Amino acid sequence: MTAVLEISGLRKTYRGRKGVRKALDGFDMVVEAGQVHGFLGPNGSGKTTTLRTLLGLIKPNDGRMAILGEEVPRRLPQVAGRVGAIVESPQFFGNFTAETTLSLLADAGGVNPRRVPAVLELVGLRDRAKDRVKTYSLGMKQRLAVASALLKEPKLLILDEPANGLDPGGIREMRTLMGDLAGSGMTVLLSSHILGEIQLICDSVTIISAGRRVAAGSVADVLAGHTSSAVRVRLEPGVDLLGAAEMLRAAGAVITIERDHFTVGNASNPAQITKLLAERQIYVSELTPVSADLEDVFLELTGTAPVDGASRQVDQVGTQGGWGQ
Amino acid sequence: MSLYTAETRRLSKRRFTRFFVLIALIVLGLLAGGTAYTHEKTTARTRAAAEAAADRAYQEQLGYAEQARQDCRKDPTSYGGNCDGISPPTRDQISAEQFLTPPFDFRADFPALVIAWAALLALVAFIIGASFVGAEWNSGGMMNLLLWRPQRLRVLSTKLSALLTWLAGLGVLSGAAWTGLFWLIATLRGSTAGMTPGAWQSLGLTGLRGLGLVLMAGAIGFGAASIGRHTAAALGVAIGVIVIFQFGLAIVLELARVRFYEAYLLPAWIGAWMVKSYDVVDYRAPCVYSATNSCEPPVLTITWQMAGGLFAAVSIIIVGVAMWTIRKRDIT
Ligand SMILES: Nc1ncnc2c1ncn2[C@@H]1O[C@H](COP(=O)(O)OP(=O)(O)OP(=O)(O)O)[C@@H](O)[C@H]1O
Ligand SMILES: [Mg+2]
């Protein structure tokens, strides 16, 4: 497989009134051709900054980037025609209709204007195409943005939170659309906070935290690398659940008691549980590993799981007293 | 080329553009209408009526004078004790011309109207130029466009050339219509006499300088709004220049007794550009002796070349800074 998108050692610092802020701190990313690649990270971790830099809107301080084998930003004008992008809910000039907006873009980019009605149809805006963009709802603007990215039939489609504001039906349509696009050979880079969605449609993911890559690879690999060591334990009916849990806790297990079962959070060796219980004549009726989903992995890697009684601040990463690291 | 077409389309599709062009046309129309209304061809009949009116006025004046003389004789003190000073105007002091609606003299009157046309259009060009790029920056449309054409200088200069071409078109069309309209007014309600080739040439050059003013105003508005990334930036700069520079500076310079202080103010330069030269007179300075006139205040003459050079320099600097900033800045 060939890489459609390569980033290495990308650095960007914003200079503000209160000194400098490292938005990207040596970030790396690789996206293979034909894949749907998820780009995940907490608020303020640098996703949008990465995409803006990639598309030449921001000048990086350091690092190398290539799109479709071409060095960017130097060769960006040559590849721009093959890259469709939306960056962070793009704004449009409110007094133009969707049709005018797209046809002006098509003109500017030298795209066949006959694609305009086609993409409007595709994103479901056909009947509202002659309304001014100002009158659109959030989701309709988002659909228009997706339409604008699809207008030039790109090889690489970059979507920054495209599901933002879409209704459930719209999200599902977006999922199907992306599947179809990837099927037709397009590579899609998708940033999103809806992890269930990412897990459903992405072949691979990159997780960014505080401007650095913390995980990358196929969804299965990322999940496998972080299977939780938690197991769910269910005992035979009538057995003293609390007593058994207490006994295990005394042996060092981290126990969470539920109504009819408990989970052991740190069961690196589940056999130990059965052994300890069997010594007291307690027999387990169920012992299942609790599989981690993308959300768990994400929260663990980025250290952004909520902590009871504390409001987590943006830019606060796990090492500063969060959970899991 | 495709970008250029898109930008021209964008400019003419904007409601803001249409609205301000419409406003300008309405104002010009009112000006033309007013001119037509207040001028009239002189015919034998209107002249006779004016003569009669002048006669009536003369008789009235005689009556007033007679009345005053009688009052004076009764009570000379209220007239300063001397009744000989009271005398009616002579008949030739009240001419028929004063009672005649003047005819519109194309050769004499039209040049001032060309200046009015240029000034109004320049104002509109400034606002349209500023809003054209300002609204794009402000709405995020510029960012979108740069995703399609990631050549910033190219995008901005194409936008500017689309704007200037469009303004030039507007200027030529409206200028031609303006000339035609007043030619018609002169034909119907005045005279077109004296329009020699030389007069036409001079008029044409005034028109061209007016067009230049319009284009420079458009470019300055465009540049300022692009630097500030907002239409309001350009309008703010314009208002700032007028308030601080013109009113404020005028007062300060006057108080500081700076020589030729008018030369620091915009109207002198616009005047010089449009009517070829403008004399700034320094009345406070010791006068200069010359052979013909005994004592004249010193005069500084601003030529149209000087004014044109200044305006061109300002436009080039502002557009240059706009180009420079778009090349460097992060677009977020
Ligand atoms: N124009 C700017 N000036 C200064 N700092 C900025 C600017 N844009 C972004 N940042 C900072 O850079 C960091 C990364 O921001 P970025 O927008 O890339 O986050 P993100 O991953 O897209 O977040 P989200 O999920 O909320 O969209 C943040 O700390 C942000 O405050
Ligand atoms: Mg973002």
Q: Interface of chain A against chain B, CB under 8 Å?
A: 52, 55-59, 73, 76-77, 80, 85, 87, 90-96, 100, 104-105, 107-110, 148, 152
pLDDT in tens, B308-327: 999 999 999 999 999 999 99
Q: How far apart are CA A46 and CA A22, in angstroms?
A: 9
Note whether residue A315 is domain-resident.
Answer: no
Long-range Cβ contact pairs of B276-283 (< 8 A, separation 24 or more): B276/B303, B276/B304, B277/B301, B277/B302, B277/B303, B277/B304, B278/B302, B278/B307
Among candidate residues A245, A197, A193, the one with its CA nearest the CA of residue A219: A197
Look at chain A and count its residues: 325
Tell me: do A167 and A89 sit in the same domain: yes
The token duo for B331 is 């677009």
- Give the SS3 label for residue B29: helix
User: Residue B77: what pLDDT?
Assistant: 76
Given a cut of 70, the residues of chain A with pLDDT beneath it are 1, 227-228, 317-325
Residue A325 counted as domain residue: no
Q: Which strand (E) or helix (H) includes residue A195?
A: helix A195-201
Contact residues for A176 (Cβ-Cβ < 8 A; gap 6+): none
Q: CATH number for the domain including A39? A: 3.40.50.300
pLDDT score for A298: 87
Enter the tokens of residue B302: 């601003």
Q: Which chain B residues contact residue A116 at CB under 8 A?
A: none
A310, part of any domain: no
Query: Does residue A124 sit in the same domain as residue A25?
Result: yes
E strands within chain B? 104-105, 190-191, 277-281, 299-303
pLDDT for residue A90: 74
Give burial (CB, 10 Å; 0-12/13-18/19+) of B150.
buried
Q: What is the dihedral of CA A236, A238, A243, A248, to 10 degrees?
A: 0
Distance CA B104, CA B277 (A): 25
Residue B289 in contact with partner chain A when CB distance is under 8 A: no
In a domain, A189, yes or no: yes
Q: Record the tokens describing residue A141, joined without a space.
A: 């603007």
Which residues of chain B, if any, have pLDDT below 50?
Answer: none
Q: What single string gives the DSSP state of each residue in B122-150?
A: HHHHHHHHHHHHHHHHHHTHHHHHHHH--
Question: Quick check: B12 contacting A, CB < 8 Å?
Answer: no
Which residue's CA is the closest to the ligand 1 atom numbered 25?
A43
Three-class SS state of B94 = coil
Contact A191, A208 (CB under 8 A): no
Write down the domain spans for chain B. 2-41+105-328, 44-99
Q: From the alpha carbon of B332, which atom of ligand 1 is closest?
A: 1
Same domain, A214 and A282: no
| pLDDT attached to residue A323 | 30
What would you measure as the largest C-alpha separation in chain B, in angstroms?
A: 95
Task: Determine the structural domain holding residue A110 and report its residue range.
Answer: 3-223
B10 contacts on A by Cβ (under 8 Å): 104
Cis peptide, bond prior to residue A117, ω within 30 of zero: no
Q: Check which CATH number belongs to the domain holding A294 and give it.
A: 3.30.70
- Contacts with A52 from chain B: Cβ below 8 Å: 330-332
Query: Residue B17 is encoded by which pair of tokens?
Result: 């553009």
- Ligand 1 neighbours (beta carbon < 6 A): A 14, 16, 21, 23, 41, 43-49, 315; B 332
Q: Is B146 on the interface with A (CB under 8 A)?
A: yes
Decide: helix, strand or coil at residue A29. strand
Which of A49, A53, A88, A105 is the best substitution to test chain B (most B C-beta atoms within 10 A)? A105
Strand partners, A228: none
Tell me whether residue A313 is in a domain.
Answer: no
Q: Are strands A36-40 and A204-209 parallel, antiparallel or unpaired?
A: parallel
Query: Residue A258 has what pLDDT?
Result: 82
- Tell me the CA–centroid distance for residue A150 and ligand 2, in Å: 20
Do residues A53 and A101 share a domain? yes
CB atoms within 10 A of CB A280: 12
Q: Is residue A36 part of a domain?
A: yes
Distance in angstroms (rounded) separating the CA atoms of residues A208 and A277: 42
Distance of CA B17 to the CA centre of its chain: 21
d(CA B244, CA B242): 6
- How many CA atoms are closer than 13 Å to the CA of A319, on its beta-carbon side? 3
- CA distance linking residue A37 with residue A189, whole number of Å: 5
Question: By C-alpha distance, which of A281, A282, A199, A271 is closest to A231?
Answer: A271
Per DSSP bridges, beta strands A70-72 and A62-67 are antiparallel
Boundary (domain end) residue, out of A197, A223, A249: A223
Residues whose CB falls within 8 Å of the CB of residue A148, separated by 6 or more in sequence, listed in order = A84, A86, A90, A101, A102, A105, A119, B144
Confidence at residue A321, expressed as pLDDT on a 0 to 100 scale: 33
pLDDT at res. A229 = 72
User: A256 and A215 share a domain?
Assistant: no
Q: How many CA atoms lie within 13 A of A279 on its CB side?
A: 8
Sign of CA dihedral B8, B14, B16, B21: positive
- Quote the CA–CA distance of B47 and B315 in Å, as a whole number: 52
Identify the domain boundary among A191, A223, A255.
A223
Task: Among A223, A253, A271, give the residue marking a domain's end.
Answer: A223
Phi, psi of A251 (to 5 degrees): -85, 0
Residue A88 forms part of a structural domain: yes
Query: What would the pLDDT profile of B263-297 be if each residue is shown by its tens digit?
Result: 888 888 999 999 988 988 887 777 777 667 677 78
Q: Are B239 and B224 a contacting pair, CB within 8 Å?
A: no
Mutual orientation of helices B152-189 and B106-139 as an angle, nearest 10°?
A: 150
Nearest CA-CA partner of A287 in A258, A249, A261, A256: A261
Number of domains composing chain A: 2
Q: A162 and A177 in contact (C-beta within 8 Å)? A: no
Q: What angle do CA B233, B238, B241 make, to 5 degrees?
A: 120
